[in-house]
Structure 1
Amino acid sequence: MNRHRLFHSWPLAVLKARDMHVQRRSTFIELLPVAEGGICNRDGDFRSVMHVLRSDENLVYCPSMEDLSFVIHQCRQKGHIADGLLLHAFMCRIGIDSHSSLGNQLVCMGVEVGYLCWAQQIFDRLVLRSDCSWDSLINAYIKHRKVDRAFILYQKMQEKDCLCPKTHTVASLVRLCGELKDYDRGLEMHVDIARLGILDQTLFVANALLDMYLSCALLDKAQEVFNNFTVKNVVMWTSLITGYVKVGLGEKAFQCYKEMQDSGYSPDTVTFICTLKACSTVGAARRGQEVHAEIERLGIFKKDVVVGNTLVDMYVKCGWLTKAREVLDEMPLRNVVSWTALITGCVDCGYNEEALQCSEEMQLEGVIPNSVTYIGCLRACGGSLDVETGTKIHGEIEQRTLFKNNLAVGCALVDMYAKCGLLSRAQDIFDKLSVRNSVLWNALITGYAECGYLNNALYLLGKMQQEGFAPDASTFISMLKACGTARDIDVGSELHAAIKKRRSLECDPFIGSSLIDMYAHCGLLSKAQEVFESLSAKDVIVWNSLMTGFLENGCDEEALICYEKMQDEEIMPDPVTFVCALKACGIMKALSKGEEIHSDIARCGNLEKDSIIGNSLVDMYAKNNSLVRAKEVFDGLLCQDTVSWNSLIAGYVQHGEGEQAIDCYEQMQMKGMFPNSGTFILGLKACSSIGAMGKGQAIHVEIERKGLLQNDILVGTAVIDMYAKHGSMLLAYEVFNCLPVRNVISWNTLLTGYTSLGECEHVIELFERMLEEGVNASWVTFVIVLNACSQMGLVKQGETYYKCMLKDYGVTPSLEHQICMIDLLGRAGYVDEAFSIVKKLPSFLDPSVWHSVLGACGRLGNSKVGNEVFRLARHIGRRDSSIYGLMSSIYVAGDISEETEMANLPKAPLDFLCFPSTFWWNDKYESFSSPLFQYTV
């Protein structure tokens, strides 16, 4: 039977053309096998049919519908869109372009090759549309994110054709609602799904609904869908766990994992991976260990590298780097993802050297770093200022051509060089990058700002805007932080003006917080408060910035007022708030207020156990001399770190409990805690306070063993001070000479030691040596040197030092220096000159000034000057009883007749003679009684 059939719908003109164009019949002789054989699977037949389609439009013999279907099938398989377009043109020419079977196939082909407009045109002309056409076109619009068209087609499919979309199409639409956070359309889809009765038929749609509700943060609805689903399996449970992880609800995800196990379902690999990610989001390392144990029990760990990588990542994100390294070492197969997770974790936790060491080990194993690995290593180099290793990594990146193709790597290189202070290299890389983004601009701008080149940073900020990149919040935050550090109020004000122009940023609480920090660092608290008041939304971060600003500028009471106002406005304090408030209480010695804040912390739950807050509580109680409470809080801490121990030791040292301080120091070492520089300094101070030189020497040995004398000048200075206070100047001098760098503080400490022992000739000698070494003397240095000159009676040398203070060293003479000069002149017998300095003082309230002059007058018996000084001292410090004793000494030294001076004095009370240091002040008559004289104003 001849299978070649003509379409019943051939136009009459085509049939008549058969007689008119007999001459073309020979053209189709070679196509007879096609006409006789119908659909064939040979490429030659495909070419033959296409030859017919390309021929003149006046056809005598036409391909059958089967032949055309075959051509469409071949075009779809081979992706020949040109042939498909030619076939469609042929169908339009002969009037069969609305044919259902061929048209639906063409729609599917157009969707497959991405010709959506063409597919839509064919679709619109079809008389009958198949389910496949509807689903194909809807899914194509979903894939290309043409959301409105996808939902319009979905509605038409149900309204006009009364067709039911396939479940995968419905699921795709639901997932699209979740991705777009389109809650309204998602609910409509749920209603349609329930109406169509397909929810209970497949897990595919149920999982999509779960994902949609979780993405829209509609947790109750998601749980409702899950609970109402009659048949649950491991996929369903895993979908719920995954959904909770995606929205950051790690606790809820882990709870689902436990419920799944309790319900008798065994987790699969995907379940374990999702649960481990849940533990990562909440930092629940202990729970992660439970999951780890289950994975080990089932033997999954050694079979699946993805599970191993997830375990490493979980421990890293929980801060358990040692455990993460153990897991990595146990993995039978480690890939670049495994190593990169560990390297990134080390960098995030501040262990930059360890991160670089891991990178070296990885490459020794033959694992080639990827771009993420290089980014982590560059961050480590920037954090540790290791420019040598950073340059080496830069060379590897250049060799692998990752630099030009990966903008993130380029940003990391710019950031690394900028943090290392090599701004020219950072600029060079920046200039070479053909593509730039805001992150890249921010990295370079921040580099210039943090290195103190604020004008360069401002120039780049302007250029960034010229090139069409709008500065974001992070740009301004970096700049404002640099302005605060540099105390550059001019540039800070310019930035504030630029922020005001961008109204979207002006109300940003992070920008507002940075502005407050900047003005507070510059000492402009009024401007900081002005910014604070202008913010429409004041969150806890903004309040914390204002509190911190008050503390930095010594306004501790205002900081506590801020804390109280926060409570009035029902702003929930965070750990930073509590730390600031406790610090203010410690400085102000406000114990009762500190106890109130302690109660507030206790009401907040587990914050009391937080190490940072716990350390602040210990410090507050210690500074308020409530050492018993400080020890109670310390003992209750879950984690007693070095800061905790230092706070307690500092409290004991500050309040004269040196033995307790040393006992704490020894307990700290016994418990395996490593002292830091601050611990050693406190330990040395404690030894000095109780004269425990032997223990001080033991601490010195430990400091030497750790190499701190060569690296930390403050520790070295503390050792010198300890020996000096014990009178061991030889040992103090030896330590001083061992210091690789000596600053003015270490020199002053040594000079003070010699002064306290009366070895003033060494003080003058060391002072001259100090100047020769180019160390700038401070005002403290001159107090020590002038005191030494006073003790040695070196008037001319002391006057020389006094005169050159301001001229040569920029030290303005203070009251302490003037007192030293008064003492120097008085000791040398220059009482008149000393008194002339006293009279020139703009305000002198310190009793030591007149004590010094009166003492000198007493030694010389100069009653004339003594009387003048006494009158002045009596007028200013009327309740200072010691001046009367000094005046008595003057009269005795001057051999003035006791009868002459006491002729007009009333007889002294008998009990006064028994206690000659006792004096009585008579406020009514403004008189002072002593056994030797009476002076009345």
Structure 2
Amino acid sequence: MRSTRSLIGNSVAYLAKVSVTHCRAIKLGTITDTYTANNILSGYAKCGKLGIAHQVFDEIPDRDTVSWNSMISGYVNRGKFESAWETLKTMKRCGFAVDDHTFGSILKGVAYVGFVELGQQAHSIVLKAGYGGNVYSASALLDMYAKCDRVEDAHIVFQRMPERNSVSWNALIAGYAKVGDRETSFWLLDCMEQEGAGIDDATFASLLTLLDDPEFYKLTMQVHAKIIKHGLVSDNTVCNATITAYSECGSIEDAKQVFDAAIGTRDLVTWNSMLAAYLAHDQGALAFKLFLEMQGLGIEPDIYTYTSIISACFEEAHPNQGKSFHALVIKGGLEQSTSISNSLIAMYLKSNSKYMEDAIEIFESMEVKDRVSWNSILNGFSQYGLSEHVLKFFRQMRSGPLEIDQYAISAVLRSCSDLATLRLGQQVHALALKSRLEPNDFVASSLIYMYSKCGILEDSRKSFEATTKDSSITWNSIIFGYAQHGQGKSALELFFLMRERNVKLDHITFVAVLTACSHIGLVEEGSNFLNSMESEYGIPLRMEHYACGIDLFGRAGCLDKAKALVEAMPFEPDAMVWKTLLGACRICGDIELATKVARRLLEIEPEEHCTYVLLSNIYGHLRRWDEKASVKRLMRERRVRKVPGCSWIEVKNEVHAFNAEDHSHPYCKEIYQVLGELLEEIKSLEYDTNLELLDCAN
């Protein structure tokens, strides 16, 4: 197994060898020899030293086709396709003959950048130069068209080839595999076998990428049998692709067998493939064990290894694992990798709100932030209700060079929704229009939600009507909007229209529908939806559906039905369900059940102030002052404080929040002065109203 460091070491050694050869050629005067100069030029180009290579090229007195080909190949291999194309044009202008090596390099560059128009120009040069029947030039053409997703053109080139080799067949199979044409890809494999063409690792590597669903498990086994038959089972590329195929077809056991059989021939990709397989099947513990095995064998992880394993580190499931991997990243000097930093940010954000500072610290320390970095931090703030921070960071993002995308727009619109900042939301809407992002389902959904939360249901509906109406995301948002505004009938009409148009229903659709039924007291209709979700629509009930059902029955005063629904749940109720049942107890005045539910909740969330407050209010409503006092005492003993409610107002795109008797605002004195004046006016109005009433009475 060759590590990155060994490859770098070999590259440095090779460059030193080329430099020594160059010095020796200058000293001996053989640098003017075209053959010697071409070897030195080719060596520098392979090492990526294109500046020195060009100097050598300029100093060759008698250049030949090899000299030009070396420069073209060097530019292509370093991703400098424009320079390669310009070199080709200069080569032709200078009257040098092009050959199959020229075409092989330039067509490889076209395939990499995807400029199919230039590929077509190169195709015409191939034909004009008389290389259309050359197997190497034709194979390069075929490969170029296939990689540019022009498989029909690739197939035409293939059919016109007088001679085909395994490279030709593999390029065509890879092209059809890339566009997902499974049937044609396997038909070509059969044809390849019938013609006796040499099947190799590249053939199977392409085909295995098509086996990505449990329905292809038997086909994967058949391909695996062919791999064994052709003696390619120990080939790294095939082995790695087979592990991935078995994993995606649902068999982690077969993937592990292939991995175990590859002992002695595994490379880093083999380990990463098995690691990804474990994570795809939610086998986090086995993934961590495999990672430790890699460490024990001295196998140096790469960026892919770390991003994969970090993605599995969510603090609830694997305490302290995430921080351990973070330490390993720092130890390995990889903390400035944008991909790894993005994974660490996502890990901390998904773990718990208390790790928000860790995520921000990583974000702030990043030298290069991409859109994933910004979107992750924006969504993290939004997820934990830190809406003001979303707006602040969004302004910073806009001041940079990165283009705003649908994820950033959606995050900031959600924050506008939470803060009910209508004017700012409208400005973000204008930005979405300017950026041509309004048709995007996520942006449209966020716009619908934002206008709904700001109380402008008409604009919410306009945003919905502007969509293609073929995604459940936007339908769910508008149904929620109507449901939360107490317009349950309109919400249900939309649901039936959604069903009529064959838009795919999901679990969120039914949360919205059940919310609508709950808010307008449609108990029977809501109950029917609950009972028919799985049988009629094929959607199993989740925790949130049970919570909606309990709320439905609780609001209607049917506490027995709410209690029965909790008891019928096939899994352990979570805090959300218990809180909903406690709310139902408050509505129905059942203090005994409320006490039992509250005790259960206090075991699950002893630091959650809402449970204490709700139970205290129930006792107060029923004038059971001793029990109310005991709840207050328990709060003091556990040091649980009620989080005060607040009001906020938007003034000139700035949100001002206020708690009761708040004195923290910088314009506190002026605000209270105006408030006092308003109260005096209200008192005078009350006095005038009372006088008018007295006059009317007399």
User: TM exceeds 0.5?
Assistant: yes
Letter in 2 for 1:344: L
User: Is this contact kept in 2: 1:760–1:789, CA < 8 A?
Assistant: yes
Report the identity percentage: 27
User: Could you say which structure has the larger radius of gyration?
Assistant: 1
Question: Which residue number in structure 1 is paired with residue 465 of structure 2?
Answer: 737
Q: What CA distance in whole angstroms lies between the structure 2 residues aligned with 1:690 and 1:454? A: 50
How far apart, CA to CA, are the structure 1 residues paired with 2:365 and 2:160?
Answer: 57
C-alpha distance after superposition, 1:576-615 (max 9, x if no partner): 223323434477574431233223422xxxx665554565
1:522 aligns with 2:249: yes
Counterpart in the other structure of 1:493: 221
Render the CA deviation track for 1:252-297: whole Å, top value 9, x for unaligned.
3553377469869695484665555334423x3xx4235546767x
For the residues of structure 2 that align with 1:474 and 1:820, how far apart are their CA atoms?
Answer: 53
Cα 1:411–1:731 change in 2 (3 A) is same
Matches of residues 392-541 of structure 1 in structure 2 within 5 Å?
402=132, 406=135, 409=138, 413=142, 416=145, 435-443=163-171, 445-446=173-174, 461-462=189-190, 464-469=192-197, 471-485=199-213, 488-502=216-230, 504-537=231-264, 538-541=266-269
> For 2:519 and 2:280, how far apart are their aligned partners in 1?
40
Q: 1:850 to 1:309 in 2, by over 3 A?
A: closer
Choose the corresponding residue for 1:256, options 4, 14, 20: 20
Cα deviation for residue 518 of structure 1 reads: 1.7
Alignment correspondent of 2:75:
315
Q: Indicate which of 743, 750, 761 corresponds to 2:478.
A: 750
| Structure 1 residue 790: Cα displacement | 0.6
Instruction: After superposing the two structures, state which structure 1 stretch, 546-555 or 700-709, moved more.
Output: 700-709
Counterpart of 2:568 in structure 1 is 840
Matches within 5 A, 1:701-740: 701-710=430-439, 712-740=440-468
SS at the partner of 1:532? helix
Q: Which residue of 2 aligns with 1:55?
A: none
Structure 2 Cα separation of the partners of residues 264 and 496 of structure 1: 57
2:402 aligns with: 673
Matched, 1:358 2:118: yes
Q: Answer yes or no: is 1:278 the counterpart of 2:82.
A: no
Runs of at least 5 residues in structure 1 that lack an aligned partner in the other structure: 1-245, 374-399, 921-937
Q: For the residues of structure 2 that align with 1:628 and 1:819, how far apart are their CA atoms?
A: 34
Shift of 1:830: 3.4
Q: Secondary structure at the match of 1:765?
A: helix
Report the equivalent of 2:652: none
CA distance in 1, matches of 2:270, 2:562: 55
SS in 2 for 1:505: coil
Aligned position for 1:333? 93
Q: Which moved more, 1:844-853 or 1:485-494?
A: 844-853
Contact 1:556 1:584 in 2 (8 A): yes
Of 499, 505, 518, the residue aligned with 1:790 is 518
The residue aligned with 1:598 is 329
User: Is contact 2:378-2:394 (8 Å) kept?
Assistant: yes
**Counterpart contact for 2:483–2:512, Cα < 8 Å:** yes
Aligned residue in 1 for 2:125: 369
Q: Deviations over 1:732-775 (max 9, x none)?
A: 43333222353011222233344444443442232233223221
2:538 equivalent to 1:810: yes
Residues 615 and 368 from structure 1, CA distance in 2 versus in 1: closer, same or farther, beyond 3 angstroms?
Answer: same
Q: Distance in 2 between matches of 1:330 and 1:725?
A: 63
Q: Deviation at 1:778?
A: 0.9
Mapping of 1:156-167 within 5 angstroms? none
Give the structure 2 partner of residue 344 of structure 1. 107
Query: Aligned AA for 1:347?
Result: V
3-state secondary structure, aligned to 1:251:
helix
2:288 corresponds to 1:560: yes
RMSD: 4.9
Deviation, structure 1 residue 554? 2.8
Matches within 5 A, 1:565-644: 565-585=293-313, 590-602=321-333, 612-613=339-340, 615-616=342-343, 624-625=355-356, 626-627=358-359, 629-631=361-363, 633-635=365-367, 637=368, 640-644=369-373
1:780–1:699 distance in 2 versus 1, CA, 3 Å: same
- Cα distance change on mapping 1:908 and 1:437 into 2, 3 Å: closer
Per-residue deviation at 1:797? 2.9
1:766 corresponds to: 494
| Runs of 5+ consecutive residues of structure 2 not aligned to the other structure | 1-9, 639-698
Offset, 1:698: 4.6
CA deviation map 1:350-390 (0-9, x unaligned): x32xx234357x58xxx9421699xxxxxxxxxxxxxxxxx
Evaluate the alpha carbon distance shift between residue 631 and residue 444 of structure 1 in structure 2; reply closer, same or farther with a 3 A threshold.
Answer: closer
TM-score, normalised via structure 1 length: 0.55
The 1:708/1:405 distance shift into structure 2, 3 A limit, reads same
- Count, aligned residues: 614
| Conservation of the 8 A alpha-carbon contact between 1:681 and 1:715 | yes
2-side partners of 1:359 and 1:453: how far apart? Answer: 23
Distance 1:263 1:407, change over 3 A: closer
Given the superposition, is the C-alpha separation of residues 260 and 501 from structure 1 closer, same or farther in structure 2, using an over 3 Å criterion? closer
SS at the partner of 2:211?
helix
User: How far 1:794 sits from its partner (Å)?
Assistant: 1.6
Residues 751 and 702 (structure 1 numbering): CA distance in 2 closer, same or farther, change over 3 Å? same
How far does residue 328 in structure 1 lie from its aligned partner after superposition?
A: 6.9
Number of the residue aligned with 1:173: none
CA shift, 1:786, in A, is: 0.8
Query: Any conservation in 1 of the 2:22–2:40 contact (CA below 8 Å)?
Result: no
Q: 2: distance between equivalents of 1:675 and 1:913?
A: 49
Distance of 1:449 and 1:667 partners within structure 2:
42
CA distance in 2, matches of 1:320, 1:418: 18
What's the CA shift for 1:701? 3.5
Q: Which amino acid aligns with 1:525?
A: I
How many Å separate the matches in 2 of 1:268 and 1:694?
A: 73
Q: Residues 578, 919 of structure 1: CA spacing in aligned structure 2 closer, same or farther, 3 A cutoff?
A: closer
Secondary structure in 1 aligned to 2:107?
helix
Task: Say if 1:884 and 1:522 are closer, same or farther in 2 by CA, change over 3 A.
Answer: same
The separation in 1 between residues aligned to 2:397 and 2:25, in whole angstroms, is 44
Give 3-state SS (helix, strand or coil) of 2:502's partner.
coil
1:208-252 CA deviation, whole Å, 9 max, x = no partner?
xxxxxxxxxxxxxxxxxxxxxxxxxxxxxxxxxxxxxx9997523
**Of 50, 66, 82, which residue of structure 2 is paired with 1:288?**
50
User: What amino acid is the match of 1:531?
Assistant: V
CA shift digits 1:478-506 (9 cap, x unpaired): 2322113565222112223333444x322
Provide the rounded CA distance (Å) in 1 between the counterparts of 2:631 and 2:335.
60
TM-score between both structures, scaled by the size of structure 2 = 0.71
